[in-house]
Amino acid sequence: MTAKDLAARLPDIRTLRAWWQTLAVLDAIMSPEWDYRYFSFDTRWGDGQEMASMRNGSGDDCSVTFTPAGAYLRCFDHESALSPWTNNPPALLQGLLDDVPEALRDAVLDPAWQLAGVPSVTFSLWRLAGDDRWHHANARTAPAGADDGSDELLEVVDGRPGSYVAFATDYYEPERPLDLAAVERIFAHEQMTSDLARRINPVADWTALTADLDVIGYPAQPAGPGP
């Protein structure tokens, strides 16, 4: 898969946002420790902005900035030949971000995804609110056949509950198989309850989880007294 293929596979902005919220909720249930989560979602990222993110713990990451103007997705594969750090001094490949619309430039230049002032990106996609498709960048000086990470980094972001079950079974190594029916209910954005959360993780801390769900923006039964 190439970034062009990924752009054709991704759904509209609203659906992608819902998918990522779901993944963030499931990871919050699976991992009480934020630092060990793969997927996150922050509805309070900035003025009018929400942030979806992914970190695999091996130096690769992705983010999607949702704004009223549209959405900007960037990913960084640290082993890719398109990495800015294959150059000395580090520098983006020509054309990698040049075509991103001005309305999304603040997201492109977000310091949270930079190192020493250089954006951490090996491929990027964007979609304005009125667009009917995602667009992808063309790195005009990319080495022939270079892998930008688009084939693997967003593999789980496909809207399929079974994909998350397979991922979480490998990544979190739960003591019991994940309840696919419960995962499907969360993908359907059913209101979260303590019972539903504990079908995913029997030791889920409901009070802590509701605080996470508030940040993620996922509907939940109010936390009450008790375990």
pLDDT for position 226: 42
Of the pLDDT bands very low, low, confident and very high (cuts 50, 70, 90), residue 225 is: very low
pLDDT for position 223: 60
pLDDT for position 167: 97
Q: For residue range 211-220, list pLDDT tens digits in order.
A: 999 999 999 9
pLDDT for position 93: 85
Q: For residue range 132-141, list pLDDT tens digits in order.
A: 999 998 776 6
| Closest C-alpha among 41, 5, 31 to residue 158 | 5
pLDDT for position 121: 94
Averaged pLDDT, 190-195:
96
pLDDT for position 85: 93
Q: For residue range 139-159, list pLDDT tens digits in order.
A: 766 666 678 898 899 999 999
Q: For residue range 19-73, list pLDDT tens digits in order.
A: 999 999 999 999 999 999 999 999 999 889 999 999 999 999 999 999 999 999 9
CB 16 within 8 A of CB 71: yes
| Closest C-alpha among 8, 2, 18, 5 to residue 186 | 18
Has this prediction a pTM greater than 0.95?
no
- Per-residue pLDDT at 210 exceeds 70: yes
d(CA 219, CA 52): 17
Q: For residue range 61-118, list pLDDT tens digits in order.
A: 999 999 999 999 999 999 998 899 999 999 988 888 889 999 999 999 999 999 989 9
Distances (CA, A) of 101 to 16, 70, 159: 20, 10, 27
d(CA 145, CA 196): 45
